[in-house]
Amino acid sequence: MTTTTAERTALPSLARVYRTRAGVELKEFFRQRESVVFTLLFPVILLLGLGAVLDYDLGEGIDFPQYFMAGVIAAGIVGASLQNMAIHIAGERSDGTLKSLAGTPMPASAYFVGKVVQVLAVTAATLALLLLIGVLVHGIDLPSGGDWLTFGWVTLLGAGACTLLGIAVSTLARNGRSASATVTPIALVLEFVSGVFMPFHQVPGWLQDIAAVFPVKWLAQGLRSVFLPESMVAQEPAGSWELGRVALVLAIWCVVGLLLCVRTFRWQDRGDG
């Protein structure tokens, strides 16, 4: 019996396609020097700069670098997920990369799996840098015991919610050239109103209400519960870390973000045929 070419050529498994695409995404990201420097080093510069300039006591024996650690980690996660995803996907849409990928046999899910793996890898590298520098330069007290578990699930849920939101936000940019100017202000505003760069109780009440709608506020709050002592919980608006609500809101945003991606994602720029 003669075996046809199609029969002799076995299609790769879905798992192999996912691994290959994830490898491509990681290589492409780490070859882009500007992206690596901005995404990985921006939160490090924030920690070094603001931690040195604003080195004052916030009460309960907590100095600003210790308090700021949760915020700068939240900023690192937002940069690696929401900001990074939105800008890069808008660029790939504009330069025709997405259109080309859409015309290949590769399942669309492999593209998004690759992006998620990239976000997780970049987030892990960012967190490792921040924790190392925080300890060596500012003497930050690291989480202990069960706090590491909280740190893990808050980071994963927060990164997941922000990644999906970033994919959806990428459609707001008209093209790749305008992506940074469109996305960066959105990320910075969310960070400012969410208490990333200042104690959240100092944010005006009406802005706190707006921030509570979005995942960044809950990400930062969950991280504060890890890096601050229980005595600091009195400074939270609710007088509690609300970890159950943190998990619920971040999980809801993962679902909402996925729905937004399904409804809004485009493989081509607006106006393209």
Q: Tens digit of pLDDT for each residue in 65-89?
A: 888 899 999 999 999 999 999 999 9
Q: How far apart are CA 261 and CA 111, in angstroms?
A: 13
3-state DSSP call for residue 197?
A: coil
Whether pLDDT at 4 is above 60: no
What digits encode the pLDDT tens for the residues 245-259? Answer: 999 999 999 999 999
Whether pLDDT at 16 is above 60: yes
What digits encode the pLDDT tens for the residues 185-218? Answer: 999 999 999 989 888 888 999 999 999 999 999 9
Confirm if 73 and 127 have CB atoms less than 8 A apart: yes
Rounded to an integer, the average pLDDT of 211-229 is 95
SS3 for 84-118, per residue? HHHHHHHHHHHCCHHHHHHCCCCCHHHHHHHHHHH
pLDDT bracket for residue 11 (50, 70, 90): low
Whether pLDDT at 153 is above 90: yes
CA atoms within 13 A on the CB side of 269: 17
- Mean pLDDT taken over the chain: 88
What's the confidence (pLDDT) of residue 222? 96
Q: What is the pTM of this model?
A: 0.90
What's the confidence (pLDDT) of residue 177? 84
Q: How far apart are CA 171 and CA 107, in angstroms?
A: 20
Listed as own residue / partner, the contacts of 15-23 with beta carbons closer than 8 Å and 24 or more positions apart are 17/106, 17/107, 17/110, 18/109, 18/110, 18/113, 18/114, 20/110, 21/106, 21/110, 21/111, 21/113, 21/114, 22/113, 22/114, 22/117, 22/118
Q: How far apart are CA 127 and CA 73, in angstroms?
A: 7
What's the confidence (pLDDT) of residue 56? 63
For the chain, the structural domain boundaries read 14-264
Whether pLDDT at 7 is above 50: no
DSSP state of 234: G
Q: How far apart are CA 10 and CA 20, in angstroms?
A: 16
Q: How far apart are CA 86 and CA 154, in angstroms?
A: 21
Whether pLDDT at 28 is above 90: no
Q: Note the helical H segments in 139-242.
A: 147-169, 176-193, 205-211, 215-227
* Pair of tokens at residue 116: 């998620």
* Pair of tokens at residue 88: 């890069």
Residues written for the chain: 273
pLDDT bracket for residue 269 (50, 70, 90): confident
More confident residue, 246 or 31: 246
What's the confidence (pLDDT) of residue 9? 56
